[in-house]
Structures are given as structure tokens and as C-alpha cells.
Amino acid sequence: MKKVFSIIFLCIIIFGFSQNQKQTVIKQANDMRKYFMEKNYDAFSNYVYDGVIKMYGNKKKMIDASVDAINQMEKAGYTFKDVTFSEVSDIINNKAELQTVVHQKIEMETPKGKILGDYYLIGISKDNGKLWKFIDTAGKNISEMIKYFPNLSSKLNLPKKKITSQ
């Protein structure tokens, strides 16, 4: 009986830790969202995964490329109206990192009307869940993402993006 109680207690602790971690992921994704929507790209970049920044060369080059892309989109009539985060997948411990997938809903205004998109981010923490950084998957599957980031777990499930017009 004592063994059963110990196992149940351990399961409750692990589940509680996991739920707390998922709440931290959502909170930090929302912090990132806030900075993005405010166009505070320097603060936003603190939540971008280091491997993404390296792809651009450095933080300043990544910010400059992001600002240029957003300015071009806005000139063409595309504006972000809202970004929200909901489900967080199971958190995987892989190669000394915690990794997860975060569901992201994006609402945009376009020249042809409003569109809603379901996209997915990969969240990565190198400090046991204190700070999460994110990779925008841009609709790619996990095999494609691993080509760019070999540290990613193949166990991460990246659903296909969905876009609907309104």
C-alpha cells in the first residue's frame, strides 16, 4: 500500500510540474506576442531561439530582416490583428533541452479580407523551463525543421497549418 501511495504521489508531482511548465510556456509566448504587436523587436528577439538568430548572422541582422519583411507586408495591405497561443504539447527532454509545440492562432487583415491561421511554434528551454525561446515552423513538418535544427526531437508533433478566409 505504501508503494502505491508513493507512486500516486510521484505522478501528481510530475503532472503538476508539467502543468506549471506549460503555463510558463504560454506566459512567455504571450510576452513575446506583446512585444511583437508593440513593434518592440529588440525585446521580441529575446524570445527567438538562438539558432534562428545565428541563421541571420546576429540579433541586429535578424531584427532588421524582420522589420523589412513586416514593412513590406504592411505596404501590401497585410497587418497582424491578433496572435494568441493555446495548447502546449507534452514537454520532451531532449539533448539537455526541454522542447514542446505551441498552437498559435494568427488573425490578419489582408486586401481581400480577414484571414485566420493555425500555426505552430516550437518552444525550447535550455535552463529547465525558466526561459523559453521559440522557432516559427512556418508550416514545415518536423523532418524539415530537423534539417535546420538537428537538436530537435523527432517526437515533436507539428500539425499542418490551417488558413481560413472570412
Greater model confidence, 10 or 2? 2
Given a cut of 50, is residue 164 above it in pLDDT? yes
Given a cut of 60, is residue 12 above it in pLDDT? no
Cα–chain-centroid distance for residue 102?
5
The total number of residues shown for the chain amounts to 166
What pLDDT was estimated at residue 166?
75
Strands 79-88, 92-94: parallel, antiparallel or unpaired by DSSP? Answer: unpaired
Q: What is the pTM of this model?
A: 0.85
For residue 29, what are the CA distances in angstroms to 64, 71, 101? 21, 23, 11
What pLDDT was estimated at residue 138?
87
The pLDDT tens digits of the residues spanning 13-52 come to 344 445 689 999 999 999 999 999 999 999 999 999 999 9
What is the SS3 assignment for 74-118? HHCCCEEEEEEEEEECCCEEECCEEEEEEEEEEEEEECCEEEEEE
3-state secondary structure of 132: coil
The one-letter amino acid code at 98 reads L
Report the share of the chain in percent with pLDDT over 70.
89
The one-letter amino acid code at 137 reads T
Ranges 5-9, 58-62, 99-103, 154-158: which has the least confidence: 5-9
For every residue of 28-71, DSSP letters joined together read: HHHHHHHHHHTT-HHHHHTTB-HHHHHHHSSHHHHHHHHHHHHH
User: What sign does the dihedral 25-122-148-138 (CA atoms) show?
Assistant: negative
